[in-house]
Amino acid sequence: MRKLICFLFAILTFVACHRDKTLLEDALSQAGRNRPELEKVLEHYQNDPEKLAAARFLIINMSEHYSYSSDKIHTFYEQAMKVISSDLSIDEQIDSLANIKKNDIGNLKTVSDIYLITADYLIYSIDNAFNQWKERQWAQHLTFDEFCEWLLPYKVVECQEFDYWRDSLPQMFADTLLKITGVNEGVMYNTIYRVEDIVRNEMLQKIPRNGLYRDGGYPLLSVSTMARMTFGHCADYINLIVATYRSVGIPVVIDRTPYYGRFRAGHTWHTVLTDRGWQLPSAWDLATVPGHKFFPYERFPKVYRHTFAINQKRMEFQKDAKYPYPLPLCEVDVTDKYTRTSDISVALKPNCILNDKYCYIAVFNGHDEIWSVVDYGTTDGVTANFTNIGRNVLYIVLSFDRRGLRTISNPFILHPDGSIEYILSDKEKLRNIIIRRKYYESANVVDKRRRILGAKIQCANLPDFSDAITLHTIETTSIPDKLALPTEYKRRYWRYFAADETYGSIAELAFFDSDKQQLSGKPIACEWANSAAIKNAFDDGWLTNFETSEPNGNWVGMDMEHPINVSFVRIVPRSDDNDVCPGNEYELRYWDGDRWVSTGRKTANDNSLLFDSIPSGTLLWLKNYTRGWDERPFRIDSVGNIEWR
């Protein structure tokens, strides 16, 4: 038996070596006129097996990594440095860089690194990475395969400049670390967790972090511009962090989710590999400690890790698929490192059109595309099969029908226990429904909304409310848009008196007469409330809030200047502006098995909407045409409770 195992191992080793030799020769052939530069690298390391293996790894996978083909990018970076170093506001900087790209630089093409990279740069990068691996105590635990992905690559992101960033970035952001290294040997300073914290805090002090996600020209990917960014996307800051960490031997990779399970957008972050073997993700670039509270409320359909190696399965898919959805070739699926997953077989609808063995699993987006692909799978005509799918998420299956992607399954929920529930519309059983929101309530929204509980609506004849009469005490968060009050009291002063420990938090307050006409008066409040907070209570803005720094005794109201009757009061709790808003135009859609069907548009008269003749059990989507973009599909059970997906 032992001889058989040794024989099989030898066969597998031979096959792997033969495959790598073939891939290397393919890469060298593809390099064309740049082949001599790559051969110089291989020759340089011919007597160093480990570095030779690293060089082969980089060359074999280099064809799918890209750089700008024109020197105009250097001109852009020169001008960008002047702009981001100027006294212009952030908005002005963004506009200026966008204009430079549009008017002076134009659209730049990219070309594979295999045609551009020089032997000198590749040798420099390999030697530097090996020095970090072998000499830094916090990197010596890495296996060779881990080293190849977490530390070795000569670039962090596509189109990054070949500008010796491994030398420059430690001088900019690791001065504290370089001074500490060598001191306190054997203490926590030589653990990745501590080293990462030292570098992270120095970067926090030196980098202005303004997340303004507008087009500001080309991404800043030269070492000088990356290190001096004044604005950017999450991914821009992650690129700088990963490059800096790798430059001092901290093993780190970039992970991403294309879409959250209940949100239209995705996210990119970095993950550090500790000397204990822990993979610690950082939720928000430099602002959060890796491994600390990584989005505990979010659901993940898919999580992918950027790699330098080409994903050969995806390469095969791209070659064979009749509709090769543009999934990046250099990343791997790590969803099961972040959430519970399942390998699933999804029943297809009868008589669906199939022109390809490949199919796609998608999540709800509701904007650019209603259903957005997160992975591919295969189909046998009866079922669609997918692997490593995140649970507790709404999905649907798509396939190519020679014109584009079309749905071939019913929407379904992959529940936390791994079971699949298909969502079907019962058009024979119609019902009336009441809707108060278009988006689920986050934990923060629930907390802020509950601050109205226990609050009182009071009126008085004296400005200090010493003779106050309580007309209503709020006992539920599901209050109507115009809360009816007893009408026998004619008073000059009217207020919302907040419950203790709530800081007075409300978004809006208004008073109405018996005809539901809004009343005007002079805003008043507790003596420690500032003018801006008082104004927020009456500005018709549901995202501006009345709130003070004191937890107790808070109130805000109106001096009507003479005694009057108030018949109704509007109290808008602090929220995310996804409640149904009077005056906004809405459209309710339901999924009929093949598409979203509109039930028509209507303008809200208060903070709820009534729709009649809606199929039971169906998937619903409330769209706001007036403002906002947070929208999620939902179902309503038999007693009216909403389940957001």
User: What sign does the dihedral 287-290-292-294 (CA atoms) show?
Assistant: positive
**pLDDT at 629 (0 to 100):** 86
Mean pLDDT of 484-498: 95
Give the span between the Cα atoms of 206 and 407, in whole angstroms. Answer: 49
Q: What is the CATH number of domain 340-422?
A: 2.60.40
Higher pLDDT, 303 or 175: 303
62 pLDDT higher than 60: yes
Give me the pLDDT at residue 495, please. Answer: 97
Binning pLDDT at 50, 70 and 90, where does residue 6 land?
A: very low
Residue 220 burial by CB count (10 A; 0-12/13-18/19+): exposed, middle or buried? buried
Fold topology of 429-441+579-644: Immunoglobulin-like (2.60.40)
Mean of pLDDT values over 551-565: 96
Positive or negative, the CA dihedral 139, 142, 145, 150 is: negative
- pLDDT at position 351 is 84
Q: Is 163 helix (H, G, I), strand (E, B) or coil?
A: coil
Q: Which helix (H) or strand (E) holds 234?
A: helix 234-247
Contact 429, 616 (CB under 8 A): yes
- pLDDT exceeding 90 applies to what percent of the chain? 78
The pLDDT tens digits for 85-134 are 999 999 999 999 999 998 889 899 999 999 999 999 999 999 999 999 99
The answer to whether residues 565 and 489 touch, using CB atoms and an 8 Å cutoff, is yes
* Interatomic CA distance for residues 10 and 16, integer angstroms: 10
Q: Distance between CA atoms of 71 and 67, rounded to whole angstroms?
A: 11
Tell me how far the alpha carbon of residue 275 is from its chain's centroid.
28
pLDDT: which is higher, 552 or 354: 552
Q: Residue 10: what pLDDT?
A: 45
pLDDT confidence band for 44 (50 / 70 / 90): very high
Distance of alpha carbon 635 from alpha carbon 528, whole angstroms: 44
The whole-angstrom separation of Cα 436 and Cα 420 is 28
Q: Higher-confidence residue: 174 or 306?
A: 306
Please give the pLDDT value at position 234: 87
**Average pLDDT taken over every residue of the chain:** 91
Task: Report whether pLDDT(188) > 80.
Answer: no
Query: How far from the centroid of its chain's Cα atoms is residue 606's Cα?
Result: 33
Look at residue 190 in the predicted model and tell me its pLDDT. 66
Tokens linked to 142: 């890495």
Q: Measured between alpha carbons, how far is 55 from 58 in angstroms, rounded to an integer?
A: 5
pLDDT at 5: 45
pLDDT, one tens digit per residue, over 401-430 is 888 899 999 999 999 999 999 999 988 899
pLDDT at 181: 60
d(CA 596, CA 623): 12
Q: Write the DSSP symbol of residue 434.
A: E
Distance of alpha carbon 209 from alpha carbon 232, whole angstroms: 8
Distance in angstroms (rounded) separating the CA atoms of residues 303 and 315: 19
φ/ψ bin of 232: left (φ > 0), alpha (ψ from -120 to 50), beta (otherwise):
left
Highest average pLDDT, of 211-225, 228-242, 491-505, comes from 491-505
Query: If pLDDT is split at 50, 70 and 90, which confidence band does 332 have?
Result: very high
Q: What is the mean pLDDT of residues 27-40?
A: 96
Q: Specify the pLDDT at position 275.
A: 87
H/E segment holding residue 498: none
